[in-house]
Amino acid sequence: MKILIVGSFGIDSIETPFGKAENVVGGSAVYISLAASYFSPSRICGVVGGDFPKEILKLFKEKNIDTCGLEIIENENTFAWKGIYHNDFNTRDTVYTHLNVFENFSPKIPEAYKNSEIICLGNIDPTLQLQVLEQIPNPKFVVCDTMNFWINGKLDEVKKVLTKINVLIINDLEAKELSKENNLFLAAKKILQFGPKILIIKKGENGAILFNGENKFILPAFPIVNVSDPTGAGDCFFGGFVGWLSKTEDFSDKNLRQAIIYANVLASFCVEDFSIRKIQNLTIDEINFRYKEFILYVSLL
Amino acid sequence: MKILIVGSFGIDSIETPFGKAENVVGGSAVYISLAASYFSPSRICGVVGGDFPKEILKLFKEKNIDTCGLEIIENENTFAWKGIYHNDFNTRDTVYTHLNVFENFSPKIPEAYKNSEIICLGNIDPTLQLQVLEQIPNPKFVVCDTMNFWINGKLDEVKKVLTKINVLIINDLEAKELSKENNLFLAAKKILQFGPKILIIKKGENGAILFNGENKFILPAFPIVNVSDPTGAGDCFFGGFVGWLSKTEDFSDKNLRQAIIYANVLASFCVEDFSIRKIQNLTIDEINFRYKEFILYVSLL
């Protein structure tokens, strides 16, 4: 199935207890599309400045990621962010956020993208997410991310988005904030009433929960010893999930469970190095090996 | 297999965001023996004062818990503790700890207990844990708990205990402290080198990990909507684990995985009410129902 990914493209500077990386590529659409590429080609929509590395545009081509919806504003700069992670990786401080080309971004979906079937709304302003959906009248399957910043600042728009999507993927803190419930299972019940049939709550190193109507699938994270940088892990999770669904064209509960395990596996690779270093150089064998390892870690034998 | 449980018996006062309970029964040996009782009779060893409720002694009898190793010092008071849990249940403040009869406690294992096969060392001073093991020369299977207080204050004794046991059950913070490693998988590797063949790291609402030599089994917690009081959950986990092993007499990796799911289920009941209120009144059908529900939550269908 044809995947369209709308999200951010950025230049990140990152410090973690295990090192740092300056001016490396980041952004939700970058991570989502690279993670999905192991299962399915995709199309990306967003905006970058003239400083966006040309080798990444080349990488997109190699990975069958269509860039005809990627606007390049040559005389401006790409969205830039710098963050410092604390010892436990669960909290981070933002040093700066420069919106740059992103400030006036309004997604324009090219004609050639309008037959996209799986629409991925990366974590951007819900107003922009709605603009995307207005341009694609009958999407088959819409998967959406959001964050506390939008939940606090644009709750009405977030709630409008929720009525138009199939899957919401958020983390545990966002789920609590959106639902005003402290217990994740109560939170999920409330969020599903806002619209989506499927909710995935990510819990970082503690795994994730898939709520598919009345069904629940609870999985731990893949065990990782050498966590270098958590940036992009949630987006790789998103990309692995939609990539697998696109490849299999099967939205059954059983296949959603498989998709979320692939999501988990892609996220596990992402955190092992800074930026896209690890996620751009995987093989499908490595991914499948980790999938099988995961099954051994969670099955009753 | 015959189970011996050595641990604390207490009178607890507990406040949580969802209510409070004054002067209710608590203590590791109480929770472990009650949780195990759904699978196996057991024998308890410890000390209480004259104020320990007579109806609990009656309850032990009803549950096939042998109290001949329970010392009752009529003119003194039972160990007493008061704690207040915070909103997230992950942190608590201790209001008071009165050692009382526990101050001079030294475990005396009755002759009739000396053929015990599974020895459960609840979270007590490692010096006392060693005294127990000295009195039972060839135990088949020793399962042990400890806590930060002993890891910080009596590390040599804790490490000596670790060379004499089969299974260590601790929580994630204790594992990090004991190993001086921040990553749980590195922590586990180190702790297994201290002696035990099997390590279980509990992560509260985020489940648990079983390390059995090179094998790992990672499981989420049973989803609970109405958490009232987490006191005793870890001990019920311990009790469910050893109870199932005692009943099945099977220490294979597959059966250890089943045992830890039962452990999980018993802990899930414990947190739904204060003190032993829920854990004393279960049926095996309720337990098995939750076991089957759990399998649905974690399996690939």
How many beta carbons lie within 10 A of that of residue A254, not counting itself? 12
Within 8 A of A296 by CB-CB distance, chain B residues are: 215
With an 8 Å Cβ cutoff, is B186 touching chain A? Answer: yes
Q: Does B297 touch chain A (CB under 8 A)?
A: yes
Q: Which of A101, A103, A154 is nearest to A130 (CA)?
A: A154
Tokens standing for B177? 């402290």
- Asked if A220 lies within 8 A of B223 by C-beta distance, the reply is no
B/e letters for A226-248, b = 16+ CB within 10 Å, e = fewer, are ebbbbbbbbbbbbbbbbbbbbbb
Cβ separation of B301 and A254 shorter than 8 Å? yes
- CA distances, A233 to each of A65, A172, A228, A292, B270 (Å): 19, 14, 11, 20, 34
Cα–Cα distance for residue pair A246/B144, rounded to 1 Å: 48
Res A187: pLDDT: 98
Residue written as token pair 């929960």: A209
**A165-180: b (≥16 Cβ within 10 Å) or e:** bbbbbbbbbbbbbbbe
Report pLDDT for B150. 96
Does A298 contact chain B (CB < 8 Å)?
yes
Give B252→chain A minimum CA distance, Å.
Answer: 11
> Which residue in chain A is spatially nearest to B208 when comparing CA positions?
A220
| Nearest one of B74, B76, B28 to B54, comparing CA atoms | B74
Taken in order B166, B172, B177, B183, the sign of the CA dihedral is: positive
Contacts of A225 in chain B (CB under 8 A): 183, 185-186
Q: Give the pLDDT band (50/70/90) at residue B90.
A: confident
pTM above 0.90, yes or no: yes
d(CA B202, CA B29): 18
User: Which residues of chain B from 204 to 263 reach within 8 Å of chain A, CB to CB?
Assistant: 206-207, 209, 215-220, 223-225, 227, 253-254, 257-258, 261
Q: How far is A295 from chain B (nearest CA, A)?
A: 9
DSSP annotation of A258: H
| pLDDT beyond 80 at A88 | no
* Paired tokens of A24: 């490396």
User: Which residues are B171's β-sheet partners?
Assistant: B202
To the nearest 10 degrees (0 to 180), the angle between helices B184-193 and B172-179 is 60
Q: How confident is the model at residue A137 (pLDDT cuts 50, 70, 90)?
A: confident
Amino acid, res. B4: L
**Most distant CA atoms of chain A, gap in Å:** 58
| Mutation for B interface: A85, A217, A254, A257, most B CBs within 10 A | A217
Is the pLDDT reported for residue A211 higher than 80?
yes
Output the pLDDT for position B247. 98
Do the Cβ atoms of A279 and A266 come closer than 8 Å? yes
Q: Tokens 């004259």 — which residue?
A: B50
- Yes or no, beta carbons of A295 and B300 under 8 Å apart: yes
A185/B223 CB distance under 8 A: yes
Nearest-CA distance A131 → chain B (Å): 36
Check: complex ipTM more than 0.90: yes
Q: Does B190 lie at the interface with A, CB-CB under 8 angstroms?
A: no
Q: Taking CB atoms and an 8 Å limit, are A258 and B207 in contact across chains? A: no
Q: Which of B203, B296, B300 sits opposite A258 (nearest CB)?
A: B300
Predicted local distance difference test score (pLDDT) of residue B163? 98
B127-136, pLDDT tens digit by residue?
Answer: 999 999 999 9
> Could you identify the residue written with the tokens 């399962």?
B143
Distance (Å, rounded) from C-alpha A280 to C-alpha A31? 9
Name B98's bridge partners.
Answer: B80
Contact at 8 Å (CB) between B27 and B9?
Answer: yes
CA distance B12 to B18: 16
End-to-end CA distance of chain A: 34
- Taking CA–CA distances from B256, the nearest residue in chain A reads A300
**Dihedral, B183, B188, B190, B192 alpha carbons, nearest 10:** 180
What pLDDT does residue B257 have?
98
Which residues 46-105 on chain A approach chain B with CB closer than 8 angstroms? 87-88
- Determine the topology of domain A3-298 in CATH: UDP-N-acetylmuramoyl-L-alanine:D-glutamate ligase (3.40.1190)
